[in-house]
């Protein structure tokens, strides 16, 4: 963390305001020094005239400073409000306002400063009736303007630096809450380079002229004119290619980042230089390669692990190894007569049949908010209620079972489904770096036993009493009670129910006849 960021963490907006006043004080020193020591080098003045120049510069600088801070005040107040609330909904607007804050006083203050310089120049000429010709007045005006230009640029860059920690904090909040990040460019890098280098050239040329010249108003104007001429004739020819060599790769990188943000991972940027920008391009391309590999792993991972489970694992990591108690509805699906089917078909035909069946079943389960916990030979276990919590998991599971029965239809071999609800432990099982997310509990065992009972009742779907009690009254009343049947591992018979509109049209091997 930089020193400015550390100070901002402690002082907040008050630190920014105090620092701005401190910077303004530095501006006073510059203008006072220029008025009291530099300008008299070109315009011979008495002590009283120097004091007048210094007082005029101080009055002008003080009023200009008050104006500048007053123009920035609304942005700083909005930042202070955001620091108290940290409201993500206002982060984007606050970021834009704070980013523009250093620019707010520039246009008004620049105009104000130039007008003030002109007023001071003419006041000096009129008040003391100094024997100043138009060249001397123009020199006084232009020299004052250069001081203002230098001071405004220093304050602009200093204010931007002071507000960087605040912008960084707001940007983090926008990223955490998926808020749109501002892409506005308030002052382009090309303009910054052109203005800065032009200002340096003109100021440096003027200072050199003052040191080696005869220190007359004519030499001051000549130095300024020569500096501007050199800037236009030479520096601009160098600065424009330099600015473009920086901004063009950055613009390409920005466009590539936008594409990556939209999901296009085939994007790369050309590595055309051996400087920091070239290194940045190499890092960007390496990042894209890493993102491609991550997506490949995620796609492969998602083909073998349910997307909801994968997202839960990625979000919670190893914290779910301990497991958590959740209420779910388990849907157990099995193929009837699978043994006989396997005896009359090749292994490839059996696998093809199962894959075609699961291609129909799995999307229906996902569409109703469940996930396939595991494939068990010729069947599967689907879970509703974890890892995504669902208050209506029983209703969703019944809807999914009814839709599966319709989608599968009269396909051979037939299927049966059993539903049961209750509390299970959801977590990861395994060891030595190999884990499987699953649900453990008697609820799952009962669901399997309920599915087995469909062979006795002739129903495609059977629902346990536990699941029926969780259904809305209308859905529960639509279920048709079946005679209680003993389930393996249960001492007493278990009450079972079947949806009234979903029944098997035929009974498979070792099943009694259909019941109405």
pLDDT digits (tens, 9 = 90+) for 262-289: 778 888 887 777 777 778 888 888 888 8
d(CA 286, CA 503): 57
Residues 360 and 217 in one domain: no
Question: Do residue 89 and residue 201 come from a single domain?
Answer: no
Q: What is the CATH number of the domain that holds 358?
A: 3.30.70.1230
Residue 514 counted as domain residue: no
Q: Looking at residue 250, what is its pLDDT?
A: 80
- The helix/strand/coil state of 428 is strand
Q: Give residue 42's pLDDT.
A: 66
Do 152 and 254 share a structural domain?
no
Range of the domain at 156: 3-181
- Which of 262, 278, 293 represents a domain boundary (last residue)? 262
- In a domain? residue 74: yes
| Domain presence at residue 371 | yes
Same domain, 123 and 251: no
Contact 125, 137 (CB under 8 A): yes
Residue 280 lies in a domain: no
Q: Which two tokens stand for residue 409?
A: 């239809």
Q: Cβ contacts of residue 323 below 8 Å, gap of 6+? A: 425, 426, 427, 428, 440
Choose the final residue of a domain: 125, 147, 181.
Answer: 181
314 φ/ψ sector (left φ>0, alpha ψ -120 to 50, else beta): alpha
**Are residues 365 and 490 both part of a single domain?**
yes
- Secondary structure class of 383 (helix, strand, coil): strand
What pLDDT, on the 0 to 100 scale, is given for residue 435? 65
Say how far apart CA 251 and CA 502 lie, in whole Å: 61
- Whether residue 332 sits in one domain with residue 203: no
Alpha helix (H) residue ranges in 177-188: none
Domains contained in the chain, number:
3
User: Same structural domain for residues 10 and 159?
Assistant: yes
Residue 297 lies in a domain: no
pTM (predicted TM-score) = 0.53
Cα 444 from Cα 442, distance rounded (Å) = 5
| Segment 98-140, tens digit of pLDDT | 888 888 777 665 556 555 655 565 555 555 545 556 666 666 6
Q: Which residues of 482-514 are buried (b: 16+ CB within 10 A; e: fewer)?
A: beebebeeeeeebebbbbeebbbeebbeebeee
Q: What Å distances lie between residue 162 and 18, 82, 104, 343, CA to CA?
A: 11, 17, 15, 79
132 and 110 housed in the same domain: yes
106 lies in some domain: yes
Name the 3-class secondary structure at 415.
strand
The answer to whether the CB of 462 falls within 8 A of the CB of 487 is no
One domain for residues 177 and 194: no
Per-residue burial over 200-211, b = 16 or more CB atoms within 10 Å of its CB, e = otherwise = ebbbebbeebbe
Which pLDDT does position 10 carry in this prediction? Answer: 77
User: Where is the domain boundary, 146, 181, 216?
Assistant: 181
The answer to whether 102 touches 159, Cβ cutoff 8 Å, is yes
User: Does the residue 290 lie in any domain?
Assistant: no
Indicate whether 151 and 201 sit together in one domain. Answer: no
Residue 313's SS3 state is helix
The alpha carbons of the chain give a radius of gyration, in whole angstroms, of 39
DSSP letters along 73-136, please? HHHHHHHHHHHHH--GGGHHHHHHHHHHGGGHHHHHHHHHHHHHHHHHHHHHHHHS-----HHH
Closest CA to 34 of 133, 113, 135: 113
List the one residue out of 273, 274, 201, 205 whose CA is nearest residue 239. 201
- Together in a domain, 351 and 446: yes
Does some domain include residue 306?
Answer: no
> Which residues in the chain come in under a pLDDT of 50?
129, 320, 503-516
Tokens 């129909």 belong to residue: 360
Q: Residues with Cβ < 8 Å from 333, sequence gap 6 or more?
A: 361, 379, 380, 381, 382, 404, 415, 416, 417, 451
User: Beta strand 415-431 with 461-464: parallel, antiparallel or unpaired?
Assistant: parallel
Tokens of 161: 């630096």
The predicted-structure confidence for 40-77, as pLDDT tens digits, reads as follows 666 666 677 667 667 766 776 677 777 788 888 888 89
Specify whether 192 is located in the same domain as 177: no
């Amino acid at each position: 963390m930089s020193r400015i960021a550390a100070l901002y963490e402690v002082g907040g907006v008050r630190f920014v305001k105090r620092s701005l006043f401190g910077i303004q004080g530095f501006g006073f020193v510059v203008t006072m020094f220029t008025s009291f020591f530099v300008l008299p080098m070109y315009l011979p003045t008495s002590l009283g005239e120097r004091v007048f120049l210094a007082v005029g510069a101080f009055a002008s600088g003080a009023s200009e400073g008050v104006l500048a801070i007053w123009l920035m005040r609304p942005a700083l107040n909005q930042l202070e409000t955001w620091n108290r609330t940290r409201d993500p909904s206002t982060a984007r607007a606050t970021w834009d306002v704070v980013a523009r804050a250093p620019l707010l006083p520039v246009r008004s203050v620049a105009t104000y400063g130039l007008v003030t310089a002109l007023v001071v120049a003419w006041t000096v000429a009129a008040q003391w009736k100094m024997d100043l010709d138009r060249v001397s007045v123009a020199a006084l005006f232009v020299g004052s303007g250069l001081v203002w230009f230098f001071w405004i640029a220093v304050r602009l860059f200093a204010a931007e630096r002071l507000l960087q920690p605040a912008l960084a904090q707001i940007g983090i909040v926008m990223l955490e809450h998926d808020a749109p990040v501002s892409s506005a460019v308030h002052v382009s890098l090309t303009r910054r380079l052109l203005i800065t280098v032009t200002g340096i050239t003109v100021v440096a040329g003027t200072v050199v002229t003052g040191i080696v010249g005869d220190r007359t108003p004519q030499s001051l104007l000549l130095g300024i004119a020569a500096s501007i001429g050199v800037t236009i004739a030479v520096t601009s020819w160098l600065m424009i290619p330099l600015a473009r060599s920086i901004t063009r790769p950055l613009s390409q990188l920005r466009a590539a980042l936008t594409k990556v943000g939209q999901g296009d991972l085939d994007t790369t940027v050309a590595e055309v230089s051996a400087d920091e920008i070239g290194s940045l391009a190499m890092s960007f391309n390496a990042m894209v390669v890493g993102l491609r590999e991550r997506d490949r792993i995620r796609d492969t991972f998602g083909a073998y692990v349910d997307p909801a489970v994968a997202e839960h694992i990625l979000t919670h990591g190893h914290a779910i190894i301990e497991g958590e108690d959740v209420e779910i509805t388990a849907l157990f699906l099995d193929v009837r007569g699978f043994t006989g089917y396997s005896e009359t078909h090749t292994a490839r035909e059996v696998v093809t049949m199962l894959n075609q069946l699961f291609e129909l079943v799995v999307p229906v389960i996902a569409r109703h908010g469940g996930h396939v916990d595991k494939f068990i030979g010729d069947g599967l276990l689907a879970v509703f209620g974890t890892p995504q919590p669902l208050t209506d998991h029983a209703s969703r599971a019944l809807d999914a079972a009814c839709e599966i029965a319709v989608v599968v239809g009269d396909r051979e071999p037939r299927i049966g489904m059993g539903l049961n609800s209750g509390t299970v432990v959801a977590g990861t099982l395994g060891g030595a770096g190999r884990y499987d997310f699953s649900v453990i509990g008697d609820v799952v065992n009962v669901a399997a036993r309920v599915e087995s009972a469909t062979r006795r009742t002739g129903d495609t779907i059977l629902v346990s009493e536990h699941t029926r009690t969780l259904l809305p009254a209308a859905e529960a009343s639509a279920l048709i009670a079946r005679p209680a049947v003993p389930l393996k591992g249960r001492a007493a018979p278990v009450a079972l129910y079947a949806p009234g509109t979903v029944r098997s049209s035929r009974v498979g091997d070792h099943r009694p006849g259909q019941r109405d």
